[in-house]
Amino acid sequence: MIKRQWLFIVLCCICADCHCIAADKPDGAPRCPFPQHTRYAEGTIKPDNVSQQQLDAAVTAFYDVWKTNYIVAGSEPQQFYVLVNDPVGTDRRTICVSEGQGYGLVITAFMAGHDPRARELFDGLFRFYRAHPSRINSRLMAWKQIKGGKSSEDADSASDGDLDIAFGLLLADTQWGSRGEINYRAEALSNIAAIKADEINRRTWSVKLGDWASRRNRKYYDTRPSDFMFDHFRSFRAVSGDDDWLRVIDTSYRVISRIQQEHSPSTGLIPDFVTSLNETPVPAKPDFLEGPQDGQYYYNSCRVPFRLAVDLLLTGEPRAKTALKKINTWIVAAAGGKPANIRAGYRLDGKKINPDDVSMAFTACFAVGAMSDAAYQEWLNALWDNVAASDLPGDRYYGRSLKMLCLIALSGNWWAPLQPIAGK
């Protein structure tokens, strides 16, 4: 125990330009206040056509807009939820999903220092999550809440939301300590154990779709590649001391490599869902879970370049760099070097799914992916200008939330709890 506490004190300072001390500050001020200006891994880049002050200002300005529009007071006292202001599937009763609640916890923890209410909002988001447990594993969150503040009838979990919730709790522990009303560290450890128990396939060490995908379920060996949150897994390993999270990282990279080699060699694109991990991973067939584009690069896997790039930025992971090179090379050519030409959804061969659909969910994540190499500096600068200036009319909760997360990374302000930064 003494050795682990010492490790926590040493690694708690993970920012290049600040010192995140282990002891709680008497006034409750954040230890790692925004902006952090993390020194990313050698060979990665940031937009260089604007100043650091302008990068930070774009983040804070959009955060203020995002918070005003999407953090909503719940029906119970001291609860907040992230509003879903567009229908999920055909259900117009939806007010919140666990995915959004995870985004909210991560974003508010990162933005402490800019937002004096960040901890209040974080704690309220946490209370709402705990008030809506999965019917299968009560430490995980029911994936959807509907008008009236109740969970939907299928009150089981979705892995992406739980992964971000646990990561957000680790951010909070680093940011504010765990001696207050909520023991963020203990809650995170409990969540991480629940995720491993019911959202990780221990035969393939892959991320399951949710706690409902048991061994008796035909989707037990299927996965959602946008759930490959490598920086989260590394932080989970650091706080728990459990090396099985390295197995999850390795499996995730093997799946990406296999799909790129066998199914998208000219684009590097990853489908929304991948099946048959116990045999040979393949893109899902149409209508596997959500719709006809389940086997294409669509509104789930648009997040893959972002997730890969964050791992590269923080650790210098060569597998992430290899995967991103294929994606970046293709999208620069496909868009003709113009971010405005990026469309929301592509088939794995690069054909547009809907030539009229555009979303920051795609453009912003491609932008973070472009941070992988200096060869893409001009492209990254153009992407930054587009992302910072655009607020697309079709983007509601999802596109705007992903833009918010990507702005934090693009500006050099993403960090991971208990994880030493490669560039430091």
Query: Would you name the residues annotated as active-site residues?
Result: 99, 160
Sort 177 into a burial class: Cβ within 10 Å, 0-12 / 13-18 / 19+: buried
| Closest to 262 in 3D by CA, of 283, 285, 286 | 283
Between CA 328 and CA 241 the distance in angstroms is 34
The CA–CA distances, whole Å, from 336 to 296, 300, 329, 342 equal 21, 24, 11, 9
- Structure tokens given for 89: 């599937």
Burial classification of residue 91, based on how many CB atoms lie within 10 Å of its CB (0-12 exposed, 13-18 middle, 19 or more buried):
exposed
Residue 81 contacts residue 96 (beta carbons within 8 Å): yes
Distances (CA, A) of 247 to 71, 167, 200, 201, 349: 35, 18, 11, 11, 30
CA distances from 156 to 62, 90, 210 (A): 32, 18, 7
Which residue is it, tokens 């868009």? 335
